[in-house]
Amino acid sequence: MDEIPADIRNEIIYYYRLSRKVLLGLYNKSIIFVLPSIVEGMPSPPLEAMACGCAVVVTDNGGVNEYIKDGLNGIVCPVRDSYCLYQKVILLINNKALREQMIQDGLETAKEFSYDNMNKNFIRLIEEVQRRKS
């Protein structure tokens, strides 16, 4: 805690185990979401944050590349590059137009990856496979 500047120490809240309700409340109160992980499959927290209107900054941990396009619907930093994460968060704080554009594009991305759309796409895929086998 001593490394955190005194003027922002009181602004930082650490959460551990969160209920879904609390988590959604935090997403909805936030404007920027950061996922600094090293390795992920296809993480859902950035999509959840996008659906709640957050701009996202993530590390290039593998799975996020399925839906985050750097500079369009989010920002991707190299893994273990905390300075990049810092710079991009500051950029989004200071550049409202960029932040708003990423929020809008993120909302569209979240719609594409909604459970309803994913189920419809899966059903289409199954139907296509069945047609090709016939």
Nearest by Cα to 27 from 49, 11, 10? 49
The size of the chain, in residues, is 134
What pLDDT is stored for residue 2 in this prediction? 58
In words, the CATH class of domain 6-133 is alpha beta
Per-residue pLDDT at 13: 79
Structure tokens given for 109: 């991305």
Q: Provide the pLDDT for residue 131.
A: 84
- Domain extents in the chain: 6-133
How are beta strands 55-59 and 32-35 bridged, if at all? parallel
Mean pLDDT split into 10-residue runs, the chain, 134 residues = 72 85 94 93 93 97 92 97 95 96 97 81 81 84
Cα separation, 98 vs 113, in Å, equals 22
